[in-house]
Chains A and B, each alone.
Chain A
């Protein structure tokens, strides 16, 4: 029988020869296993020794165990380091190979643009208001100061179901309904939704489209407040370098009335082919709410005033994403929709 020192030498030599983790594990079992391991076998005969030798053997065996364990750990670390040293080669993959398609669907670009607009205006304290798409004459026209026979009706040629029911030509009826419902200003609302006008489909307009209108009714609002609101909205959506101008125009439901333009994103207002050398792109209409319209909404125009604006969501999306044909939004060709 060998003594602990010899056993240690033998084990260390075996460990030094080991090439793999499996060999190391086999050596560990062979020498250090509690039952029938070589070291424990050595100790199993300790009882036969005279008492004064037992302590020495015990101590020698413990030293042997520690030495073998240390050598095993060192070997294992050596093997692990060797393994990690060449994974750069052994486990290399072709990182240029593309990932598999996720198969994710897409939100409609108009949903995305509408949400961006809502987010900006909600951050300013405006609330989304919705209303019916099939409206009455009164809400669609009369309440907005457009009585029958009014020449401006031509701009809102509409689809009728009965002489009194029609598809709304703008989301302005929602403004009237909101004023009637909320009753007491301040009122800060936006009204996104689909609208309909009797125009034959072409690249720049469709008989159906979507608008976002905004309405503020409060004390002592000014044209300046309206301009600031539009500027904040446009710059938030298109970037700080954009400018906004308002041009006098005419709508029966606002006085004064304006069109609002945004500097062309391509030439920054200098004039280019894209903006037909105007430097400005027409976005929508706006103005100070006509006192009669406030009255029709149940608001006292001697106490309150307001401003309102409106524009097409498609127009905003076309400006933002360089879409040239409005029909693409409603054609549902996935090759278009998946670009956004």
Chain B
């Protein structure tokens, strides 16, 4: 919201408080000034035009002026002709930079010297009028322009949603006054001066049909107004706040909105059918042509202002075109009402229309503000548009604002802040902010917040009021005391425990990614992993409308993105939550949120490179699991969505399935516009962490080992894992370790068979084994392999 420094000066004496200082004070108080824009007029002086002649030689029309700038006369040339002799004008002498950035130079134009510039409103950033020189109402030649028009400073302030009273200059000024400890120049509630007959409430009958959505409606009647332009100062202030002047009546309603934060609306009373106002919900099918020229269809949950026949305004949002004040209006109805915040927000949202009025109503305005705003506007209208204010307005107030009383133990201030604020200072601060404080016999305070402060209701709110004015920079930093009789022992977080796996992955060349959890539901369905997906009911776009059920689609996309950007051999992973809707009658409950590790890597272009990458991925998984301190995984051939049907393993730890590892299905790869092969895994990490335990050191072997190799020829379908299990069983307690290290097909191996080579290590913890003993065990191993798997052996 834009706040004019000059305007604040109406309410509080700003002598000696520069715009920058005011901005700092407000920010410290909690009204954040995001930017400060200063229009410095102090270098511009007032001049009086003595003579104006047309330039005789210039091709473009130019006028040569003799201008009295206080004690001397300068010759100044201008393109506009409105600065006739006698006019008071703003003059920028050579060397001055005018507010729009232009540097004024000493010029010679076709033989005529020009010693300066006469400024337009646009050049001084006082308006958008560039058609002529700005003519001043008053001023003394030679004086600074600031004697007529003060330097302009506008602040962009952010007002928190609990302080709608500060969405106007009066409220901001009150804060500033408290911050610099100066009195307010005006009272919150202006006097009411309406005397004209008959009583306003007899001229316009107001009824509130839906008092749940409107707690107060004031309809003020003013007759005999003369609609015209607003004076310059008012137009200037509106423009400084980003509001376009229209006519004096509309401008005054806007002006009071910017001042009191109370939205107002002016109706042409003659156009209100039946002289009636009804505050009611819209009826189905009703329409209203609004002030912005748009016809809007109304729905029954929207609150409208209606006359005897039809809606004339959408309550709190925008007025109707037909009943608006125009040049011919003489009698008007001034509306000052208090509408229900959520209702106004809903209506404004439904139309995608956020107005100055709706933005304020949304936050919930105090009903007392309506009266203050209406009185202020009535006074201004009489002053600037003439007319007579009628006595006794309609003021329908079905639910009067309840006064709030707060019992404050004033020492709470010290307890919460951690410093000592003298009681008299706390009290003075509250009083400056408009609170009424009464000290009770027991030392507690009975505090009555001002009527415009609906946000203050508990003692802690009062602590905040004192604290922000006293100054939080005066609270020294401390740390909580260490005297504790209870505590929770420290345990490493899940994220920190998983760092062990992250280190393994980094060492293996994998880079961690964080990908959005919201993905395209359509894509999940195409990939057939959408069955348990949760779909957002108010998505921003259809590529972010569903929570992912797997990390792998995101990671495949990461590969695609990086290939597009010239990378090959992409190896990436992510550790994150996936979301699985509960099934059966629990679908409306919170979903399961397993933490997953997903890994995807380039796997070359050939079946052979894919095979090698598969085994490499197993090594990565084994290393991660081992580094996490969990027991090793086992693998079973499986099929799963996203995976290659011949190259997919279910990963188990003990009896529990953790997930899958394998090549990505070729159709998924091509679906992501990728070539070649990808290998991947996705496992649940919580069970792995649950199964983890501290490493227990084994004693170092005391006796030598004997190594043997064994080449086992079996039919293709026999899995290495099965052979391994048979070898381990037959190797008994002297077989310390064995692993397959080669697979061979070709010479000496019949078609349809393969040769799997194993390295075996034999050792006894009790004695040195002899070759003969190991030979015997080898025979048993071979027998077992022959019997179980029809194996033969290559030498």
Contacts and interface: CB of A to CB of B under 8 A. Distances in A.
A255 interface: yes
A223 B467 contact: yes
B490 A161 contact: no
B776 interface: no
A155 to B, nearest CB: 7
Interface in A319-340: 329-335, 337-338
B506 interface: yes
Nearest to B482: A125
A232 B484 CA distance: 20
Interface in A186-234: 186, 192, 194, 196, 198, 200, 206-208, 210, 216, 218, 220-225, 227-232
B506 A256 contact: no
A255 B512 CA distance: 39
A259 B473 CA distance: 13
A263 interface: no
A332 B561 CA distance: 8
Interface in A147-196: 148-149, 151-152, 154-155, 159-162, 164-165, 167, 182, 184-186, 192, 194, 196
Nearest to A127: B488
Category for how many chain B residues contact A? 35 or more
B517 A194 contact: yes
Nearest to A208: B516
B101 interface: no
Contacts of A15: none
A288 B161 contact: no
A118 B495 contact: yes
B475 interface: yes
A222 B536 contact: no
Given A106-B512, A135-B590, A256-B463, A122 B490 contact: yes
Interface stretch (B326-334, B411-419, B674-682): B411-419
A204 B303 CA distance: 37
B509 A329 contact: no
A309 interface: no
A182 B488 CA distance: 9
A114 B495 contact: yes
- Per DSSP, are chain A's interface residues mostly helix, strand or loop, or mixed? mixed
A71 B775 CA distance: 52
B27 A247 contact: yes
B162 interface: yes
Nearest to B503: A107
Contacts of B418: 222-225
A32 interface: no
Given A134-B547, A288-B416, 18 more contacts: A104-B509, A105-B511, A106-B506, A107-B512, A111-B512, A127-B488, A161-B536, A221-B480, A224-B419, A224-B475, A228-B477, A247-B32, A248-B28, A255-B461, A256-B460, A332-B513, A334-B567, A335-B565
Given A107-B512, A151-B341, A330-B515, A130 B494 contact: yes
Contacts of A20: none
Contacts of A130: 493-494
Name the residue in B163, B491, B508, B514 with the highest tally of chain A Cβ atoms < 10 Å from its Cβ. B514
B770 interface: no
A126 to B, nearest CB: 9
Contacts of A249: 30, 32, 160
Contacts of B473: 245
Interface in A299-316: 305
Contacts of B593: 132-134
B590 A104 contact: no
Interface string B548-582: 00000000001001100101001110001101000
A115 B499 contact: yes
A104 B507 contact: yes
Contacts of B506: 104-107
B781 to A, nearest CB: 39
B562 A333 contact: yes
Contacts of A4: none
B348 to A, nearest CB: 11
A186 B341 CA distance: 39
A133 B577 contact: yes
Contacts of A198: 538, 540
Contact of B341 (A149, A194, A332): A149
Nearest to B541: A200
Nearest to A185: B486
Name the residue in A105, A164, A167, A250 with the highest tally of chain B Cβ atoms < 10 Å from its Cβ. A105
A102 to B, nearest CB: 8
Given A108-B512, A247-B30, A231 B161 contact: no
A107 B518 contact: no
A75 interface: no
A46 to B, nearest CB: 45
B657 to A, nearest CB: 23
B362 interface: yes
Contacts of A154: 161, 345, 362
A331 B464 CA distance: 42
Contact of A186 (B35, B484, B505, B561): B484
A296 interface: no
B544 interface: yes
Given A159-B539, A224-B478, A329-B514, A132 B507 contact: no
Contact of B478 (A133, A136, A152, A228): A228
Contact of A151 (B32, B161, B567): B161
